[in-house]
Every structure is written in structure tokens, then in C-alpha cells.
Amino acid sequence: MKRKSITSRDVALLAGVSQSAVSRSFSPASSVSEKTRKKVMEAARQLGYRPNTIARSLITRSSRTIAVVTYSLQNPFYAYLLEKASRFLQQQGYHLLLFFAPQNGDFDMVVDDLIRSQVEGVLMLAITLTQHQAAEVADFGIPVVIINRTVEYSGISQVGSDNFQGGYWAGRYLASLGRQRIAYLAGIPESTTNRQREEGFKAGLAAEGQTCFLYDVGHYRYDDACDAARRLFAARQREDMPDALFAANDLMAIAVMETLRDELNLTVPDNVSVVGFDDMAMSAWPSHSLTTLQQPVEQMIARATELLLKHINNPDALPEQLVLPVTPRIRQSTAPTVLSKSTY
């Protein structure tokens, strides 16, 4: 025997409220009294009712869905950003769809998927776009906000950290510790975050009368950073090796520290001082105690999601480009040389 389909009308009759009150009770961002919401939820529980979000989207022409586009969640920092964005948007009554973009920058398939999914807005998490790609995305009329990347195109809202100033601090700080052979481990060389951090780092070294001692690339990945560490510290003589290193993110910095300790018989910070960038949760673990530049994750997500909702609700709102400050977190992965007594 086919079971009778339970509708919002059945819930409204049992709860003694209107159908519109039932609809509002299942929309977190809608205005409804807590007393009414409890009555509706209890009636829905008794009847086994579940709202049909697809049917509702056809009636309201609102999918209440936000797309998040990223390359990978291998970096725990990106997973943390995604969690914060998801929790914030759920509180506003939105659902998230996750899309993975190809590393080669071919967005045609992703854009097609976004359009078919009828999302109301898009958060691009650490996605590198060219000016042409940014303009192409904006032309589809779907509100977009980029987080933790920048693009030289004023038609899309962007929220990021002050990467240059963070790199500048790292260069000056390591030099101030008396370190003389300071290396840089790049992320994805062409990404805006890497370029800005590298430029700031070299400017900070120059302010202390130094230049970058050695350079390698880790692509923001753990395994690639381990390989880079082996190359950077392959010299037989200690004076030909770096005595300090700035990595473009924490994941690579931790990879370097573990490679130095487990494979190369070098200690941190006695032989090598290490600085990262992000301040992901594991960076503060005692086994790492990584000195790093903390990105303001809570503020980044809050501002980015607020901007996206503003663009959804007001398509004529002008795009904004926000740069938020970073904060040094000095821990045990850095120390002065024996001859230096830094007061930086």
C-alpha cells in the first residue's frame, strides 16, 4: 500500500499555524517566533515530514545554494576555510556544493556545472584566475567572491590577506636573528599569494642588507616540499646549506622541518630556523611549534560571505577588494644564532 505523502498543509493543520509559517520555520534566515518554530518542528516530527527544497526553489526561484570552487583540500588550511564558510552560510539558510577545478586552469567544465546547478553565488577558494577568466566568470551574472587569491580585475569581489607585509616581516625577522643564509620555499610560483609573499620576503631581506640564499618550489604540497628540502640541504658542507627558511605556507614548512629532523640529521631551530604562513591548527602543536604568519580566517570568511550575500540580494552592488592584516606568531621553530642576541 502506497504511503500518503505528507505535505506542509498537513503540518500546518496539526501545528495550528499557516502554511507560510511552516515554510518560514524551515528557512533559518526567515522571521518566525521561536514558539511557532517549535510547534511546527514537533508536528513535522510526528508526521515524518521533510521539506521539498527542490519544489520550493521552483516556486521561489531561489535555490538557496552556494558553490565553493577549489583545487584541492590536501592543505588543512583550505579545509578549515571551507568548514568556516559552510557553517556561516548554513546559519543564513544556504547549502554548499563543492566543485574541484583542474590545476591547469581550464574552467569551462566547471563553469558549465555551476550554471546547470543553478547556484545563487560562488566562493572561489584559493583559485588562480587570469583577467580574461575573471571577466568570463563575471559575465555569466552569477555573484562571485574570491578568497585568499587576488586577480587584476575590478569586476569581482576579492578578500585576502596582506601577503606582501607577511613576507616582509618573515625576511626581516629571520635576518634579525643573525641568520645569514636564508632560503625561500615557493608555493605555486605563478599564484598571486606566492608572488606577493616572495616579493615581501625579498624586500624584507633587502632592508637588512641580505638577499635570498637559495630558492626552490614546493607547490604548497607536503610531498613536493619534502623533495625541495632534500635539494636545498643537499650540500656536504654546513656553510653551503641554508641556516633559515621561509616557506610560503605552513604545510610546506612542516614538511621541511620533518625532513630535516627525520632524514638529514639537522635540528630546528638550532641548525635551521623555519617560518611558515597561515597558522593552521597543527602549526601550534608541540611537535611542530611553528613560527608563522596568522591569516585572519574568521574575518576573511565573514567578510567574503557577507559580500557574496550582498551581491546576491543586490545585483547592482559594486565589487570590493579587501586586504586584511596578518599577525606574526613566534614559536619554537625560530631562534637566534649563537652569535646573535636578537631583540626583534
Domain harbouring 267, CATH code: 3.40.50.2300
Could you tell me if 116 and 104 lie in one domain?
yes
* Residue 2 confidence class, pLDDT cut points 50, 70, 90: very low
pLDDT at 15 over 50: yes
Per-residue burial over 303-332, b if 16 or more Cβ lie within 10 Å, else e, is: bbbebbbbbbeeeeeebeeeeeebeebebe
Query: CA angle 128-133-138, nearest 5°?
Result: 110
Spatial contact of 133 and 105, defined as CB atoms under 8 Å apart: yes
Is 90 contained in some domain? yes
Same domain, 88 and 198: no
Q: In the prediction, which pLDDT does 60 show?
A: 44
Q: Give the residue-averaged pLDDT of 196-221.
A: 97
Residue 76 reports pLDDT greater than 80: yes
Q: What is the pLDDT of residue 124?
A: 85
What is the domain range of residue 135? 65-161+298-325
Residues 6+ apart with CB under 8 A from 324: 159, 160, 161, 162, 295, 296, 299, 300, 303
Report yes or no on 333 lying in a domain. no
Mean pLDDT of 5-24: 84
- pLDDT higher than 50, residue 259: yes
Residue 281 is predicted with a pLDDT of: 92
Residue 233 pLDDT: 96
Number of folded domains that form the chain: 2
Residue 29 lies in a domain: no
Q: What is the pLDDT of residues 287-336, one digit of tens each?
A: 999 999 999 999 999 999 999 999 988 988 999 999 999 999 999 999 99
Rounded to two decimals, the pTM is 0.77
Same structural domain, 85 and 207? no
Q: Residue 20 domain-assigned? A: no
| pLDDT for residue 81 is more than 70 | yes
337 contacts 179 by C-beta, under 8 angstroms: yes
CA 66/CA 86 separation, integer angstroms: 9
Among 35-39, 93-97, 247-251, the range with the most confident prediction by mean pLDDT is: 247-251
Residues 168, 248 within the same domain: yes
**pLDDT for residue 54:** 44
Is there a domain that residue 337 lies in? no
Segments in the chain forming alpha helices (H): 8-15, 19-25, 34-47, 53-60, 76-91, 108-117, 131-139, 163-176, 192-207, 222-232, 250-262, 297-313
Q: Do 278 and 321 fall within a single domain? A: no
Same domain, 200 and 136: no
19, part of any domain:
no
Are 302 and 234 part of one and the same domain? no
Segment among 47-61, 183-197, 211-225, 259-273 with least mean pLDDT:
47-61
Task: Please tell me the total number of residues recorded for the chain in this structure.
Answer: 344
Predicted local confidence at residue 197, as pLDDT: 97
Q: Please determine, for residue 180, whether its predicted confidence score (pLDDT) is greater than 60.
A: yes
Count of alpha carbons within 13 angstroms of residue 191, beta-carbon side: 25
pLDDT at 247 over 70: yes
The answer on 204 and 266 residing in a single domain is yes
Predicted pLDDT at 48: 75
Q: Are 95 and 195 in a shared domain?
A: no
Long-range contacts of range 226-229, CB-CB < 8 Å, 24 or more positions apart?
226/255, 226/256, 226/258, 226/259, 228/185, 228/252, 228/256, 229/185, 229/255, 229/256, 229/259, 229/260, 229/264
